[in-house]
Each structure stands twice: as C-alpha cells, then as structure tokens.
C-alpha cells in the first residue's frame, strides 16, 4: 500500500504556506529569524523549487508565527494570499472551473497539492451540498488557524473566480471568538459555533452559477456557434456521489469527444492535477488514511496496525507524536458516519448502532452525547 505521511515525513511544499508567511513578516517588518528559529527551515530553502518540510516543522513554524503576530488576522491574510501565490495544477484547474460545483469539487479532490493538512468529506442533502472538514498531519493543535485559513482561501477563490462574495453557511467546531469581524467579513453572517465538526453548506442552486471563465467561454461559443456540452455537466448535479465516498468523473468524458470545446481546458487541467497528485511521494497523512479505513469498517488498533503493515506499538507511537490517540480517530469517524446515517430518514437509533458496531441503541446514544453534548435526535437534519 502507498505510504502515509507521518509527523516527521517531509511532505509539505515550502512554497505553499512558508513562503507566504515569510513574505507577510517582511512586509510588517517582523523578525524573520525568530520566525524560523528552531524549525530547521532556512531562508535559502524557501527559494528552492520542490523544497519540502515535515508536519513537525510546520507546527513549530506556526507556534513561532502566532507568538509574534500582533493581531488575530494572520490566518485570514494568508487565506487571501493563497490563490495569487499559487501557480500549480490545482489552481489552474480551479480557474478553469465551469461553475461553483466544479470549483468546490476540484478543491475537494486535489487539495493535497496545496493544502495537505486537510481531509474533506461531502454529502448531498435534499437542497444543499455539505462538506465536512477534518485535519490531517497532526495539525489539530492549530485547528482554528487551519480552518480559518482554509475557508478564507476558499471564500477568496469564490470571489475571484465567480465575481461575487461567498454565499453559504458554515459551522465551526469551536466556541465563537471574541471578535467576529473577520468572520462576518469573509464568511457572511450565516455562521454557527460549537459544532461537532466543521461543516460547509451550499444550496444546490448556488452551485450552478457559472464562473467568470465559463461566462467568457459561453460568449465565445455563441460568437463562433460552438457547442460546449454543458447539459452533460448539469445532469451530473443530481447524482448522489457523496454517499459512496467516490468521485464520479464521467461528466468529463463528454469534453473528450469535443476537441473544439472552449471548456476542454478544464479536462486538461483535471488531467494535470491528477498527474501531479500521483507524482507525490504521499497523498494522505497517517490520520487521514486511518479515518478512510475506519469509515468503511470499525477496526481495533491491532487490526489497523496489521493493515498499515506496522506493529501496534509503532502505530501508537506515531499517533502520539501528533498528540493523538487511536481512540480519538475511532470516535471521530464514528461521529461522521453517525451524522451521515442521521440524515437518512429510514435510519433509526437501532440500525445506526448496529452499523457503527455498538452493542445497542443506548450505548450509541451515550457515546453520541459524549461526542457532541447532545442526543442524536438533535442532529437528525444537520446534513439533510
């Protein structure tokens, strides 16, 4: 099986976050030597192409940065800089997205290329698409920072690529900060806090909005009488792809048959992103890989260690380096699966308990209340 990135594996491109951090510190005339102290990262490294750092180095860098930065807006500033500072296959693909659905899907599928600290899940409700965010590579210690960074970068992308402000609701898995000004500025007012997980929700009608690139392509197609094959893509929006945890790419096949389509570049960008992802030494961190396996089946620590081809003691140690335990990951994935099941009307407490390997419904309810502070019925329509 493909290796999963651990705490000390060099798997993060220093051009992604490190270069932007150093640039901001220079702009504010803050001490860059102090920023890099103890990280094992040197200023000359940042200018090297394909220079990689480990999650351990990134965590130490953020400790230094947050200790020095004079306000609480660092994550939001970095999020605004994310798209202009990127030039890889993921960014190019997002620029070529037809609409918000394609943009979000592309980010969801290939985010490892520029935001490897994320793990995303998606679910199709009756009127909305929902995305759940987990953190990979041991970055939960800076959970609020990375959620703010990732979501503000996504909101900035939507504004720049769609020509309008972010419209959607977001639930944050931590208490509301004292100052919500940045949240209202970047995410709007449809916000909630103290959620069990980070959830992004968008109406399906909003997802059909064409991007600036698609509008230009539409004008091109009308002028030159070119069929861009949009109906094939729109039909895919009814497909409940999230429930199977797979990514359906059949909507791209239509473009292959239309070599003159101005949106054919979207297909080329998808191929480039896929090739770039496959060329990576890692495509998942240890915690993300464990969650994926637990989403399919509840496994004990020895069973998981056997699947990962390591000893139970080694697995326990590697998780401990990230400040995590195996039990935490089991609880988190059970919670995600429980929320999915609760969104399905035919599921009741007994059937969910059986699916999650609980002995009975009472044990499931007690565990759910321990995870969220509420009984399962409270979240019955959270992903509806």
Q: What is the pTM of this model?
A: 0.85
User: How many Cα atoms occupy the beta-carbon half-sphere of 52 within 13 Å?
Assistant: 13
- Whether the CB-CB separation of 46 and 22 falls below 8 Å is answered with yes
Percent of the chain with pLDDT over 70: 84
Q: Going by DSSP bridges, is the β-strand pair 128-135/198-203 parallel, antiparallel, or unpaired?
A: antiparallel
**Structure tokens that stand for 226 in this block:** 């070119």
Closest by alpha carbon to 97, among 46, 151, 167, 158? 158
pLDDT in tens, 295-334: 999 999 999 999 999 999 999 999 999 999 999 999 999 9
- Residue 18, burial from CB neighbour count under 10 angstroms (0-12, 13-18, 19+): buried
pLDDT in tens, 180-225: 999 999 999 999 999 999 999 999 988 888 888 766 654 434 433 4
Tell me what the mean pLDDT of segment 15-26 comes to: 91
Q: Where are the domains of the chain?
A: 1-70, 75-214+265-281, 284-383
pLDDT range class, residue 240, cuts 50, 70, 90: very low
User: What residues form DSSP beta bridges with 135?
Assistant: 118
Which residue's structure tokens are 């449809």?
190
Q: Domain 284-383 - what CATH class?
A: mainly alpha
How far is residue 268's CA from residue 354's CA, in Å, rounded to a whole number?
Answer: 44
Is the model's pLDDT at 375 over the cut of 80? yes
How far is residue 75's CA from residue 21's CA, in Å, rounded to a whole number?
Answer: 10
What angle separates helix 361-372 from helix 326-342, to the nearest 10 degrees?
A: 110
Kindly tell me the number of DSSP H helices and DSSP E strands found in the chain.
Answer: 20, 7
- Residue 152, burial from CB neighbour count under 10 angstroms (0-12, 13-18, 19+): buried
């Amino acid at each position: 099986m493909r290796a999963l990135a651990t705490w000390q594996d060099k798997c993060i491109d220093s051009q992604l976050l490190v270069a932007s951090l150093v640039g901001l510190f220079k702009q504010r005339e803050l001490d860059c030597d102090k920023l890099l102290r103890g990280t094992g990262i040197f200023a000359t490294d940042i200018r090297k192409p394909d220079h990689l750092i480990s999650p351990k180095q990134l965590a130490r860098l953020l400790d230094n940065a947050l200790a020095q930065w004079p306000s609480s807006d660092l994550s939001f500033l970095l999020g605004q800089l994310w798209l202009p500072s990127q030039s890889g296959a993921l960014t190019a693909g997002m620029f070529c997205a037809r609409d918000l659905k394609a943009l979000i899907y592309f980010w969801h599928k290939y985010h490892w290329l520029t935001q490897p600290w994320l793990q995303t899940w998606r679910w199709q409700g009756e009127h909305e698409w929902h995305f759940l965010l987990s953190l990979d590579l041991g970055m939960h210690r800076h959970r609020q920072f990375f959620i703010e960074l990732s979501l503000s970068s996504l909101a900035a992308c939507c504004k720049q690529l769609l020509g309008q402000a972010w419209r959607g609701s977001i639930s944050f898995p931590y208490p509301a900060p004292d100052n919500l000004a940045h949240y209202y500025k970047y995410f709007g007012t449809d916000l909630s806090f103290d959620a069990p997980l980070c959830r992004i929700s968008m109406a399906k009608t909003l997802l059909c909005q064409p991007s600036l690139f698609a509008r230009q392509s539409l004008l091109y197609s009308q002028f030159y009488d070119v069929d861009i094959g949009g109906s094939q893509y729109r039909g895919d929006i009814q497909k409940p792809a999230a429930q199977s945890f797979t990514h359906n790419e059949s909507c791209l096949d239509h473009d292959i048959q239309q070599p003159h389509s101005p949106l054919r570049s979207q297909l080329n960008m998808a191929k480039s992103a896929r090739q770039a992802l496959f060329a990576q030494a890692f495509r998942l961190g240890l915690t993300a890989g464990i969650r994926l396996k637990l989403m399919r089946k509840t496994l004990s620590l020895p069973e998981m260690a056997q699947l990962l081809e390591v000893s139970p003691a080694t697995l326990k140690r590697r998780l401990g380096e990230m400040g995590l335990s195996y039990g935490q990951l089991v609880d988190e994935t059970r919670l995600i699966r429980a929320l999915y099941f609760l969104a399905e009307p035919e599921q009741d407490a007994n059937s969910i308990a059986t699916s999650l390997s609980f002995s009975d419904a009472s044990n499931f309810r007690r565990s759910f209340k321990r995870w969220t502070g509420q009984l399962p019925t409270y979240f019955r329509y959270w992903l509806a």
